[in-house]
Amino acid sequence: ISERISFRWIPDPPSEPTSTIVLTSPTGWFVDVRIEKATPSNPESLQWAFAGQAFHSTIPHPSIPNQEQSKGSWLHLVDSKHPAGFQDSGVFEDLPDGLALEKGEMMDDGIGRVRAYEEVWKDWDAIPTAFSV
């Protein structure tokens, strides 16, 4: 379970305009739902939702010799904005506070061009519970 803490288009300051949760299975299947936070003039609404398969690998760090970093790629099989088969990716850096910084590039629908972005993520442990039907 991952919660997005902040988002920013580079060079803008970070903010979090949505409530974003990603559920990922041990085999890499995921669901990512982003709901715009309500304001007095705008009720909550779906900003973006997608689901598919995640792939993770390690790649050489671009600026630290003999260091690797994690790269994630997400194949969207269902997507509220893009056709099936859309794919995005980002590289991750562990932050000292236990959060993860994701960096990448994607389409900024507001201006119609690709821009660099950063997202900060917090992972939550899934706690098994007993339930009966």
Task: Report if residue 43 sits inside a domain.
Answer: yes
pLDDT higher for 126 or 9? 9
Confidence (pLDDT) at 65 = 87
pLDDT of residue 63 exceeding 80, the answer is yes
Tokens, residue 7: 């988002």
CATH number (domain holding residue 114): 2.40.128.320
Task: Report if residue 14 sits inside a domain.
Answer: yes
pTM (2 d.p.): 0.88
Confidence (pLDDT) at 76 = 96
Confidence (pLDDT) at 20 = 98
Confidence (pLDDT) at 129 = 80
pLDDT higher for 15 or 65? 15
Domain that holds residue 58: 2-123
pLDDT of residue 132 exceeding 80, the answer is no
Confidence (pLDDT) at 18 = 96
Q: Could you give the number of structural domains in the chain?
A: 1
pLDDT higher for 42 or 5? 5
Task: Report if residue 85 sits inside a domain.
Answer: yes
Task: Report if residue 133 sits inside a domain.
Answer: no
Average pLDDT over residues 15-42: 94
Confidence (pLDDT) at 17 = 93
Q: Among residues 124, 127, 129, 128, which one has the least CA distance to residue 23?
A: 124
